Amino acid sequence: MKSLLGKLGVVLIGLAIFSYGEVWGEDWKLLSVHEYYLAYYDTQSITRPSKDIVRVWERFNFTEKGVLDMVRKFGKKYENLSHSIDLSEINCVEKTTRYLSKVSYDNKWGVIYSSSSPQELDFVVPESLVENLYKEVCK
């Protein structure tokens, strides 16, 4: 009986976790498929802190090849990498972008890497993932 109750508890916790995104209104839209990751952006998280600036959350689900690449670049702590969730800021007029926040998670939602230090501004490169995001959010 304890085993059945334990399994039921796990199922209920799982349902709560998976329904969490719905409660907060996340709507991840596929942006790009790459050999290292699948990139999404949250259409519900788009904000405009000023007339020309757009902020949006991105999610990168890493493929096996992407995980191997991250391990090669950054070490063994990335062996169980699952995904990252990043906050991007785009200036739609100047066509510049930067990451404001970046968190990488393992397959148990443990944090592997976290940074809330805004990066330097960079130009939106033609035919890039960032340009695809720019076209979606700067309409």
Residues 110/135, Cβ–Cβ less than 8 Å? no
Closest to 92 measured CA to CA, from 51, 32, 43: 51
Report the C-alpha gap between 63 and 74 in whole angstroms.
16
The whole domain housing 74 covers 25-137
Evaluate whether residue 16 is within a structural domain: no
Compute the average pLDDT of residues 116-134.
Answer: 95
Evaluate whether residue 33 is within a structural domain: yes
Residue with tokens 């393992």: 106
pLDDT given at position 118: 92
Evaluate whether residue 75 is within a structural domain: yes
- Could you tell me the CATH number of the domain that includes residue 100? 2.40.128.710
Report the C-alpha gap between 28 and 94 in whole angstroms.
26
Domains: count for the chain: 1
In 10 A of CB 87, how many CB atoms?
19
pLDDT given at position 25: 54
Evaluate whether residue 7 is within a structural domain: no
Say what the pTM is.
0.78
